[in-house]
Amino acid sequence: MSVRDVHIKDFSYVLPPERIAQFPLEQRDASLLLIYRNGTLSHTMFRNLPQWVPSGSLMVFNDTRVIQARLLGRTETGAWIEVFLLQPVAPFTDLQLAMFQHGHCEWRCMVGNARRWRHRILQVPFAAAGQSGMLTLTKKGKLDSDFLIELRWSPETLSLFSVLEAAGHVPLPPYIKRSDRPEDRERYQTIFGHRDGSVASPTASLHFTEQVLDELKQNDVQRLFLTLHISAGTFLPVKADRLGDHQMHDEQICVHRYVLDRLLQWTRTNKPQRPPLISVGTTVMRSLESLYWLGCRLLRGQSLEVGQWDPYDKNSDMPVDQALSALVQHLDQEQNHQLIFSSRLLIAPGYRFRLVNALITNFHLPQSTLLLLVAAFVGDDWKRIYEYALQHDFRFLSYGDSSLLFAPPGH
């Protein structure tokens, strides 16, 4: 069956509302960790993760940092309006550059309670750097189901990042049914995130503590970092009945040259001696797999972006090292030290993985692209995994518990 003909209803399960974690645990590494290996299920505490990771493994993390992307303002009639920043539009579309913009910019936004926002202008007062400021939001038009919003602020000497830090709120996902609290500013961030731009957290990494990272290092587990700035589309369920009618969200990925070099070295190690490549989170898995398809596109003379259906319309037997070598050569030609590209890659059952051997991830919404990715990785055993988690009182979604999933034999 074609991937386009997959019915999303086949990737559903009953998730009781009380199993959705509404708050983080007091200790990050106190969460439960489900282990799936060779078809066998067990569980432990996340702080015991280093005991389950083979020595010499290569572990890849997403070092993105969440911005305070939710803005709340009152209309003249007193109605609360929520503006959720999604993607910068002007003067920069690059998220890193957009964060350092001064005075004004335009973003694609979701708007909550939009019907009550009858006047085009909404004002949000704030205080930053010991002085009062004002952020003015203006509706410029519609962008599909979203809005184009102009942001202007004073003092103009402040960067957008500074304004959002002062005026914005933590962009908790909609299934967390509460207002954000001061502690969310720390707990909805990873301990190593430093590249501002995400509107959702790479939640698989929220469980890591310095102690866990130190124990992994002592076990000769090597760490690599890349950046994928996560968009709001990552936690939205698929609304189309048929996967072919679903449009994946576009996300920006940044990978440094030294990471490509290390991955290339890994691919050229004989398979019997090759250590596992472990993806910390679905965003990292999409990024790593996107690198392969990006290399294939480059060798075909195509643009540096990965399409939703590339693996299915342009299935390739190109060796992984050849695809990664093309990316390294491209950076050399451009005299650049990092690769920046966009990806809409959809990983669903029927996808053949090129790089990743194991995945650390939380438990995802029914009928979501994240659950489809897990199902593509472990096959029909995703049902056993989720049933086990439900039976053993695991907490679900962003602030929930975790899992370590090894690829089935023959993967």
Q: What is the tens place of the pLDDT at every residue in 53-68?
A: 999 999 999 999 999 9
Query: Are 251 and 358 in the same domain?
Result: yes
Residue 272 lies in a domain: yes
Q: In sequence order, which residues have a C-beta less than 8 Å from that of residue 157 and are 6 or more positions away?
A: 102
Query: Are 326 and 217 in the same domain?
Result: yes
Say what the pTM is.
0.93
Q: Which of 153, 51, 163 is nearest to 103 (CA)?
A: 153
Which residue shows structure tokens 């207002």?
179
Residue ranges making up the domain that contains 120:
69-169
Residue 95 pLDDT > 90:
no
Query: Are 233 and 163 in the same domain?
Result: no
Number of domains in the chain: 2
Residue 330 pLDDT > 80:
yes
Edge to edge, the sheet with strand 277-280 lists 40-45, 32-37, 402-406, 358-362, 277-280, 58-62, 222-229, 251-256, 338-343, 305-306
Mean pLDDT, to the nearest integer, of 309-317?
A: 87
Residue 180 lies in a domain: no
Find the angle CA(380)-CA(354)-CA(287) to the nearest 5 degrees: 95
Residue 311 lies in a domain: yes
User: Quick check: 189 and 223 in contact, CB under 8 A?
Assistant: no
Query: Are 363 and 244 in the same domain?
Result: yes
User: Quick check: 255 and 291 in contact, CB under 8 A?
Assistant: yes
Task: Report the phi/psi class of residue 56: left, alpha or beta, with left for phi > 0 and alpha for psi in -120 to 50.
Answer: left
Query: Are 283 and 336 in the same domain?
Result: yes
CATH number of the domain at 253, please. 3.40.1780.10
What letters, b where the CB count within 10 A reaches 16 and e where it falls short, cover 40-66? ebebeebbebbeebeeebbbbbbbbbb
Report the DSSP pairing between strands 251-256 and 32-37.
Answer: unpaired
Rounded to the nearest angstrom, the gap between the alpha carbon of residue 160 and the centroid of all alpha carbons in its chain is 22
Query: Are 75 and 32 in the same domain?
Result: no
Q: pLDDT tens digits, residue range 209-264?
A: 999 999 999 999 999 999 999 887 666 678 888 999 998 888 889 999 999 999 99
User: Quick check: 191 and 25 in contact, CB under 8 A?
Assistant: no
My answer on whether omega of the bond before 24 falls inside 30° of 0, hence cis, is no
> Percentage of the chain with pLDDT > 70?
98
Find the range with the poorest average confidence among 26-40, 83-97, 385-399. Answer: 83-97
Residue 111 pLDDT > 80:
yes
Residue 258 lies in a domain: yes
Query: Are 45 and 124 in the same domain?
Result: no
Residue 318 lies in a domain: yes
Q: pLDDT tens digits, residue range 358-370?
A: 999 999 999 999 9
Find the range with the poorest average confidence among 85-89, 256-260, 311-315. Answer: 311-315
Which H/E stretch holds residue 128? strand 121-128
Query: Are 55 and 77 in the same domain?
Result: no
Query: Are 20 and 97 in the same domain?
Result: no
Mean pLDDT, to the nearest integer, of 126-151?
A: 89
Q: Which of 52, 16, 36 is nearest to 403 (CA)?
A: 36
Query: Are 247 and 324 in the same domain?
Result: yes
| CA dihedral for 61, 347, 271, 298, sign (positive or negative) | negative
Query: Are 151 and 211 in the same domain?
Result: no
Give the chain's mean pLDDT.
Answer: 92
Q: Which of 173, 158, 187 is nearest to 99 (CA)?
A: 158
Residue 204 lies in a domain: yes
